[in-house]
Amino acid sequence: MEELGSDAGANGATPRPRLEDVAARVGLSTASVSLVLRGVPGPSERTRQRVLKAAAELGYRPDRTASALASRRSRLLGVMIDVHSAFQAELVEHLYTAAEEVGYDLVLSTQTRTRDESTAVETLLAFRCEALILLGPVAPASVLAELDRRAPVISVGRRITGADLDVVRSADDDGVGRIVDHLVGLGHRAIAHVDGGKGVIATDRRRGYRSAMRRHGLDDRIRILHGDHTEEAGEGAGRRLIESGDLPTAVVAFNDRSAIGLLTALRGAGVDVPGTVSVVGYDDDTLSRLGCFDLTTVSQEAEEQARRAVVAAVERLDQGRVTPREIVLAPSLVVRGTTARPR
Amino acid sequence: MEELGSDAGANGATPRPRLEDVAARVGLSTASVSLVLRGVPGPSERTRQRVLKAAAELGYRPDRTASALASRRSRLLGVMIDVHSAFQAELVEHLYTAAEEVGYDLVLSTQTRTRDESTAVETLLAFRCEALILLGPVAPASVLAELDRRAPVISVGRRITGADLDVVRSADDDGVGRIVDHLVGLGHRAIAHVDGGKGVIATDRRRGYRSAMRRHGLDDRIRILHGDHTEEAGEGAGRRLIESGDLPTAVVAFNDRSAIGLLTALRGAGVDVPGTVSVVGYDDDTLSRLGCFDLTTVSQEAEEQARRAVVAAVERLDQGRVTPREIVLAPSLVVRGTTARPR
DNA sequence: ACCAGCACTTAAAGCGCTTTAAGCGGTGTT
DNA sequence: AACACCGCTTAAAGCGCTTTAAGTGCTGGT
């Protein structure tokens, strides 16, 4: 069924079969073959069968670059990721399945230490991606707006203020609110927050913490320590808490990584978690599920975010939607072993 | 100067400028512009400057698909990754820089639960990648050999027996050997191994353990527990060790994740690490560097592997090398806090 | 004056596909 | 008999580039 000439490819060989070869084999025009292979209605059933058979026999594979050029459609969605992020890896996984369902393919481009966001995006554009799905972009809103004029941009995970483009994210403030509710429900009142620095996401989570505390009448218990998104920051914050001599009964970290740093610092100093202090993270990293951490955290519904992002892109590309849309999903609390009633 | 109809692009933009637009602007042919833009010698300095200026003014970006089609070269390396692997993420990072240095671009394709290796590879081929860099491929050697006839294949991290294709990997047996040497040097004799199952890599590491033990005259101390590459497996093995009532003084795990599982089980049962038992991992995951683990492990030289893989591809593509090559790098021991002299 | 040679430049033919308008034989209608 | 129409097929014109062979207009040597 599948037989390539003799030795093809790499070393000295038969070129890959073209549409024309398939056409010649069945004595039809390339036009007909093209129609059949793309499933366009028109060709008769008999023609259809013969073409499919010939294509299979030759091992024909359409050349994306050529068809993209001819059709002026690449059916490609560009995805910018940070290959180091476990959460984004999960998103990518779901993006693939979502894209496949609507007949699009994905091209991935990652930022690295030496490869910035704009390089990653330019690469995507050079591939002629029709839309850009950016996971946690950090570029200013104006830059993203500019980009959106070249191809529809969907920002995933980051709220964009002042730019008219699509956003899919989960309600970070709400997520933190649920954490605080959970802790208050357990009887905690001295609840501190180790924040994530100056980013948009950190701002939202900080706000969520503040307003939840107020909602529970704990205004005077609001206590925010500075941090960022790394384990080191969490560890540092943990040490500061201990040195302060005034341990809260619960700490809400910016994310799981920070929470893990916190855990390390606290337990390292002999503080029992969750006995003496409860700790909560954010993101539901693979890490946090690990037996040794068993962290209470918030899940961001990766699958749903991925699906929504793809849908948003398709609406822009195939359904002519032009008005931007912000989709905010409700995150969900995942209670594990680092939270308990205060002593 | 440039004003096509009304709304084109994403939301009403002008279509992207083509080579022809640049040419028209400077009153030259597209041929000249093409030459200048690709840095081919020929055009005069004056022409060169004018073209570059015009291209910049128009914001011209070459269309990869068109040039790939015309030149029959995509200058694309296809990289298959498992987006969930932290180690592979690091490899990707270095692959980007290495590829850039030699004028190639990367296209990433990942496997997921619903997207197998062959799908990932077909995607790469459909993009017309000229060579395939597969990170830890699991397909049988025969399939990879078949693939190699379509485009040069470079297997990274996995030894391939019986197929004539390029391999870049580190010497797994040697790496484990160094671990054992280190432990023996500290005075350990009862050294157990929690293996990684049936894969090629696990086999190599197990062999490395066995032969190192023999080399040190510890044949009768060889003790292998069954495991795989997950934390769960490590945890299970840890429990079995404890239940056996015969704790070794050191355990060499298949990888860091397994080692972390081990740590959890041991410490959870009140066993002091490294006081009572030393634990060693493999891979030098970001995880293992974390303060709370501080795991002694083996580094696989991601950067070097990445560079070598790209070089191998370039040799195949641009220098006509046809004989396969296996590049085996020496891994290096990273001593951290989970190993100490036995009590 | 003639030609060779040089330094540039370009017309034109694709690359492998899609797409449009036109072509074809046959059926049904008037 | 003339016509429209239908289901199917295809010729041909690109898509935005690269590349090759063929020009240009020079200079300088004879």
Q: Please, what are the averages of pLDDT over each run of 10 residues along chain A (343 residues)?
A: 36 77 94 95 92 95 93 94 85 92 91 88 91 94 93 94 91 96 97 94 95 97 94 94 95 95 92 95 87 91 95 94 94 96 91
Inter-chain touch A150–B63, beta carbons under 8 Å: no
Chain B positions in Cβ-Cβ contact with residue A288 (cut-off 8 Å): none
Quote the pTM value.
0.86
Torsion over CA: A294, A297, A303, A309 (sign): negative
A61 CB closer than 7 A to any strand D atom: no
- The side-by-side arrangement of strands in the sheet containing B250-253 is B224-225, B191-194, B250-253, B278-280
Using one digit for the tens of pLDDT, what is the confidence trace for B141-198?
Answer: 999 999 999 999 999 999 998 888 999 999 999 999 999 999 999 999 999 999 999 8
Inter-chain touch A112–B123, beta carbons under 8 Å: no
Chain B positions in Cβ-Cβ contact with residue A97 (cut-off 8 Å): 112, 114-115
Q: How far is B54 from chain A (nearest CA, A)?
A: 19
What does the pLDDT read at residue B3?
Answer: 34
Average pLDDT, chain B: 91
What does the pLDDT read at residue A10?
Answer: 42
What does the pLDDT read at residue A6?
Answer: 33
* Closest B-chain CA to A87: B84
What does the pLDDT read at residue A3?
Answer: 34
Nucleotide nearest to A69 (CA to C1'): D15
What does the pLDDT read at residue B13?
Answer: 57
Q: How far apart are CA B329 and CA A330, in angstroms?
A: 48
Instruction: Report the residue count for chain B.
Output: 343
A254 CA vs D22 C1’ separation (Å): 68
Q: How far apart are CA A56 and CA B178, in angstroms?
A: 51
Using one digit for the tens of pLDDT, what is the confidence trace for A199-246?
Answer: 888 999 999 999 999 999 999 999 999 999 888 899 999 999 999 999
Residue B340 binned pLDDT confidence (cut-offs 50, 70, 90): very high
Q: How far apart are CA A155 and CA A140, in angstroms?
A: 12
At residue B255, does pLDDT exceed 90? Answer: yes
* Closest A-chain CA to B269: A292
Phi-psi sector, B315: left (phi>0), alpha (psi -120 to 50), beta: alpha
Chain A positions in Cβ-Cβ contact with residue B108 (cut-off 8 Å): 107-110
What does the pLDDT read at residue B173?
Answer: 93
At residue B1, does pLDDT exceed 60? Answer: no
Q: Helices B45-58 and B30-38: crossing angle, nearest 10°?
A: 90
| Distances in whole angstroms, Cα of residue B39 to Cα of each of A126, A290, B47, B125, B164 | 18, 53, 12, 28, 36
Between B343 and A61, the more confident residue is A61
Give the best residue of A91, A94, A95, A96 to mutate against chain B (max B CB count within 10 A): A96
B62 CB closer than 7 A to any strand D atom: yes
A35 CA vs C23 C1’ separation (Å): 18
Q: How far is B251 from chain A (nearest CA, A)?
A: 18
Report the footprint of strand C: residues with C-beta closer than 7 angstroms.
A 15, 18-20, 30-31, 34-35, 37-38, 60, 62-63, 66-67, 69-73; B 27-32, 35, 42-47, 66, 69-70, 72
Chain B positions in Cβ-Cβ contact with residue A89 (cut-off 8 Å): 83-84, 89
End-to-end CA distance of chain A: 72
Inter-chain touch B93–A109, beta carbons under 8 Å: no
* Closest A-chain CA to B106: A109
Question: What domains are defined for chain B?
Answer: 19-62 (1.10.260.40), 74-170+302-329 (3.40.50.2300), 172-299 (3.40.50.2300)
Size of interface A-B (CB pairs under 8 A): 158
Nucleotide nearest to B42 (CA to C1'): C8
Q: How far apart are CA A83 and CA B109, in angstroms?
A: 12
Inter-chain touch B107–A105, beta carbons under 8 Å: no
B26 CA vs D28 C1’ separation (Å): 32
Nearest to A235 among B9, B113, B291 (CB): B291
Nucleotide nearest to B72 (CA to C1'): C15
What does the pLDDT read at residue B234?
Answer: 94
Inter-chain touch B110–A96, beta carbons under 8 Å: yes
List Cβ neighbours of B239 (8 Å cut-off, separation of 6 or more).
Answer: B265, B269
Using one digit for the tens of pLDDT, what is the confidence trace for A300-330?
Answer: 999 999 999 999 999 999 998 999 999 999 9
At residue B87, does pLDDT exceed 90? Answer: no
| Distances in whole angstroms, Cα of residue B326 to Cα of each of A32, B144, B178, B308 | 46, 15, 21, 10
Nearest to B149 among A10, A93, A322 (CB): A10
What does the pLDDT read at residue A74?
Answer: 92
